[in-house]
Amino acid sequence: MAAANQDTTRPQNTRAIMVFLQSHAPFSNMDDDHLARFAEHATLRFYADGDVVLSTEDGIVDKFYVVKQGRIRGERHNEKADKTETTFEISQGECFPLAAIIGERPTRTLHRAAGDTFCLSIEQDAFITLISESEPFRDFCLRGVSSLLDQVNQRIQTGAMASMGSSISLSTPLERYALRNPIVCNPDLPVRKAVARMHENNVGSIVITDDVRHPIGIFTLRDLRTMIAEETCSLDEPVGQIMTKNPCYLPVQADAFDAAMLMAEHHFAHLCVVDEHKRLIGMVSERDLFSLQRVDLVNLARTIGTATHIRTLVSLRTDVSRLVDAMLAHGADSGQVVKIITTLNDVTVRRVLELNIKKNDPGIAFTWLTFGSEGRQEQTLLTDQDNGILFQTPEGMTDDQVREKLLPFARTVNDELAQCGFTLCKGNIMASNPKLCLSDHEWDDWFIRFIDASTPQNLVYSSIFLDMRAVFGPTDSLNELLDKVLARIQKNALFQKMLAGNALQRKPPLTMFRNFRYVTDGKKHSLDLKRQGLAPFVEAVRVFALANGVKNANTLERMSELVGKGIFDDKDANAWKDAYSLIQAIRMRSHQEMLERGEELTNLIDPNDLNPLDRRILRESFRQAQRLQQKLEITYQL
Amino acid sequence: MLQQIKQWIARRRAGITGNIAPENTPKPKTPGDQLLTECRLIVLDLETTGLHPGKDEVIAVGAVAISVGAIDLSDQFDLVLRRPELDITQTVLIHGIGPEALTQGHETEDALLFLLEWMNGDPILAYHSAFDQKFLEKTLKAELGYTQNHTWMDVADVLPAFFPDAKTGGKGLDHWADYFGLEVSARHHAASDALATAELTLIALNKARKEGLKTLRELHDKLRYHRRLRNIHHN
């Protein structure tokens, strides 16, 4: 009798409210006693569709609300457009108005019931007691939705970490690493003396600096070996003759991720770290970054980059997948991970090209272009080929003659890339397609036609060809081409408007009632995270980027540049970036899970398989996509 | 809430509350000019051993109060009365309150007195209220000799009066709860059904306000009119 069950002493309705609260964050993390306190002090109110729940004229907010059933819409009047905009949607299990009750001020947003709605509320004094006693509740109220995002990221990390067992963060700034004090010399020093200095200090490299300590070159033991073996230079000549010029460097504010990416791209084991005046202040090595990790991005990139046979490249693909797991575990966000995948894919593509040139050199310089997600540096494990070739026709040859030489080469490369896991493009958007293996003039004509004759088919292709990047070969001719294309689009308001109209074709998967709208084909209850979730962001951002002369193809970076140009509001852009990254994160996690189960990768997920927190965040992310599309509609008056 | 009852019974036993006799409980209020947005309403549901007030008994009372247009969950009544003559074990009479805390034999009376005091004479709403009214009146009379008339209103009448066109597919509590998409936590549990009934009442009161109904009397009159209309159609 003494150990009377707590549950039976609480009234049924109190228990029922506790059960309801427990299925939603932050209540899911709160103690039973605190939940019981909430339930016992709560008041239940009803609002019919359209009823005002909280108004800006109500004075200081004195209640904290949780939606028990139905939805609440936030409304603000947009003076510019002279219309009312929905700024947020709060649905079952979610709380409001956080900022106002914490700030002890009136709300700045009209809260209106969207559909018949029941809300639980507690008075301010009960709210304050709860905040002071429950840590999860306090954390949530003070940090709002960002704490939810943290929870998601934490879970992504712990999930992946279980198999890794280490917790160093890639976001750690370089200044927190013990930077080596680099051994330096000036370029006039004879090689013999430079080597002696390296020997005295027992190091494998020396940085060559100028009078103001700017790093101008690097010389390593490997360079010494090559020099002696190939007799390229004598030991008495100045080290400036033989050093590797323009060494890679990063500012001290950069983080470990930036350093790892730069090393992976260039296959360097060392990077110079400089201050704001670009003066050398230290060195960071691959080993410094990855001393605690088993999976090594730089090493993997180097192994790929030096593989001597296509078979090796194929076998390395599983390592790429393992690395993605590891990166998620080490705190890389989805934006970082897609860049890692893209970098490793780039290295693979380059290596396949190099191996083929060695075997069978077409004898003509060319630039290997990638389009679409690879062009945007947004590849995940599920990826297919979208590529093309840009060349400059040597004198005395015709474009067709060059093409004749390049096409068989491109065919082999496409096939070998397919063996490495880059699925052949169903639409034949590949370098071996004669229509996409073009000279600089031909590409220019191609884009003129593309922009002037904005046929529906062309608009569909805009997501591929207007996100373009060079992976291999000279980049100057591509830059010239891009400048011309951008200038044309900026002048062509009609094309912009059609692009915008096309970008609105893909609606975020939310119904009028803010429930998920499922794909109509295939499985029931599934969402296509790529086509329905990410595409609305990518497409809308592309329109704004192209219309405003942003050359970058990466969606997140395009958004940053649009903020810089004053096109996007800083806060809006951050919300959109977060939303985009979270959809991407959920998509990648689902890919990793499919891979573990040995299933074929798809972009389809059933939101019912997600936990309530992820579902809520997914819904909020889709709503952000709707807002971005609204901006497009207003800008282009669609 | 049990704590409240225990304390109340303890006070009563110790003679602190004074001699609350059935005749000293709060007077039932009649529907007058009380504003619907301000008055307190009781929404009640009984669990019984069967459907016949003549031979069946009340097992549990669940009730919530609507005050100032909202359900105040700190003001609710949730009690299981197991009548000794119906209970095989004959021990735990008031569920959750051990027999050691009470002197056996008077629990039902005490609980009913507490219910009368808690209701404070406010109008009582219930779903198919005639049923609950008969059972409660019979029990109050048998246990306490209490015979005062309370104001009862039937939520099963209130809803069609305000939502005449609703296609509910039936007249039951479940039909209306489904129609408005309510989630009932534990159907046929007295307190849970009382809360669902109260939620439906809130929906109806919201509509009443929009139709310009202000006072308890206006609500009462509308129900009477609606009932008469229905009877005419039926005859």
What are the residue ranges in chain B where pLDDT is below 70?
1-20, 82-107, 233-235
Taking an 8 Å cut-off on Cβ atoms, the answer to whether A44 and B185 are in contact is no
CA distance B60 to chain A (A): 12
CATH architecture of A6-143: Sandwich (2.60)
State residue B2's pLDDT score.
56
Give the list of residues 6+ apart from residue A208 with CB closer than 8 angstroms, or none.
A184, A185, A186, A187, A215, A216, A217, A218, A219, A239, A240, A243
Query: Which band of pLDDT confidence, cut at 50, 70 and 90, is reported for residue A155?
Result: low
State residue A377's pLDDT score.
85
Residue of B61, B71, B192 to mutate for A, most A C-beta atoms under 10 A: B71
Where in the sequence is the domain holding B80, given as residue range(s)? 2-29+36-234
Partners of A11 on chain B (C-beta within 8 Å) are: 1, 76, 78, 191
Residue A242 in this model has a pLDDT that exceeds 80: yes
Please check whether residue B35 is in contact with residue B50, taking contact to mean a CB–CB distance below 8 angstroms.
Answer: no
Residue B76 contacts A, CB cutoff 8 Å:
yes
Mean pLDDT within A182-199: 91
Q: Please give the Cα distance from B3 to A40 (Å, whole number).
A: 13
State residue A303's pLDDT score.
80
Q: Which of A8, A14, A47 sits opposite B96 (nearest CB)?
A: A8
Partners of B96 on chain A (C-beta within 8 Å) are: 4, 8-9
Residue B73 contacts A, CB cutoff 8 Å:
yes
Partners of A40 on chain B (C-beta within 8 Å) are: 73-74
Taking an 8 Å cut-off on Cβ atoms, the answer to whether B73 and A47 are in contact is no
In DSSP terms, A77 is beta-bridged to A84
Partners of A47 on chain B (C-beta within 8 Å) are: 206
Which region among A22-36, A352-366, A444-458 has the lowest average model confidence (pLDDT)?
A444-458
Residue A28 in this model has a pLDDT that exceeds 90: no
State residue B87's pLDDT score.
46
CB crowding A473-493: b at 16 or more within 10 Å, else e: beeebbeebbeebbebbeebe
Q: Which of A4, A14, A116 sits opposite B73 (nearest CB)?
A: A14
CA distance A8 to chain B (A): 7
Mean pLDDT within A365-369: 95
Q: Please give the Cα distance from A542 to A573 (Å, whole number).
A: 14
Q: What share of chain A is helix, strand, coil (3-state, %, to 5)?
A: 50, 15, 30
State residue B101's pLDDT score.
37
Taking only the tens place, the pLDDT of each residue in A494-542 is: 889 989 998 998 888 776 445 666 665 555 678 888 888 999 999 999 9
Residue of B nearest to A2 (CA): B98
Taking an 8 Å cut-off on Cβ atoms, the answer to whether B186 and A16 are in contact is yes
State residue A367's pLDDT score.
96
Instruction: From A254, A261, A258, select the one nearest A281 (Cα to Cα).
Output: A254
Q: Which of A8, A19, A44 sits opposite B73 (nearest CB)?
A: A44
Taking an 8 Å cut-off on Cβ atoms, the answer to whether B180 and A116 are in contact is yes
Residue of A nearest to B192 (CA): A13
CA distance B231 to chain A (A): 30
Taking an 8 Å cut-off on Cβ atoms, the answer to whether A69 and B182 are in contact is yes
Mean pLDDT within A231-247: 89
C-alpha torsion sign, points B46, B47, B48, B52: positive
State residue A514's pLDDT score.
53
Of residues B123 and A612, which shows the higher confidence score? B123
Query: Which band of pLDDT confidence, cut at 50, 70 and 90, is reported for residue A432?
Result: very high
The residues in B 77-136 lying below 8 A from A, measured between CB atoms, are 78, 95-96, 98, 100
Taking only the tens place, the pLDDT of each residue in A368-411 is: 999 988 888 887 766 778 999 999 999 999 999 999 999 999 99
Mean pLDDT within A587-596: 79
Query: Which band of pLDDT confidence, cut at 50, 70 and 90, is reported for residue A165?
Result: very low
State residue A582's pLDDT score.
83
Mean pLDDT within A441-468: 85
- Please report the ipTM that was assigned to this predicted complex: 0.86
Query: Which band of pLDDT confidence, cut at 50, 70 and 90, is reported for residue A638?
Result: confident
Please check whether residue A410 is in contact with residue A437, taking contact to mean a CB–CB distance below 8 angstroms.
Answer: yes
Total domain count, chain B? 1
State residue A163's pLDDT score.
37
Give the list of residues 6+ apart from residue A310 with CB closer than 8 angstroms, or none.
A352, A355, A416, A419, A420
State residue A400's pLDDT score.
95
What stretch(es) of chain A map to CATH 3.10.580.10? 174-291
Q: What's B199's domain CATH number? A: 3.30.420.10
Query: Which band of pLDDT confidence, cut at 50, 70 and 90, is reported for residue A320?
Result: confident
Taking only the tens place, the pLDDT of each residue in A248-273 is: 888 888 877 778 777 777 767 778 89
Of residues A78 and A112, which shows the higher confidence score? A112
Taking an 8 Å cut-off on Cβ atoms, the answer to whether A1 and B98 are in contact is yes
Residue-averaged pLDDT of chain A? 83
Q: Could you please state the CATH topology (level 3) that the domain comprising A492-638 is classified under.
A: Four Helix Bundle (Hemerythrin (Met), subunit A) (1.20.120)
Taking an 8 Å cut-off on Cβ atoms, the answer to whether A48 and B185 are in contact is no
Instruction: From B146, B107, B134, select the one nearest B50 (Cα to Cα).
Output: B134
Q: Which of B70, B191, B205 sits opposite A11 (nearest CB)?
A: B191
What stretch(es) of chain A map to CATH 1.20.120.330? 492-638
**CATH for A174-291?**
3.10.580.10
Taking an 8 Å cut-off on Cβ atoms, the answer to whether B207 and A48 are in contact is yes
Of residues A437 and A83, which shows the higher confidence score? A437
Residue A413 in this model has a pLDDT that exceeds 90: yes
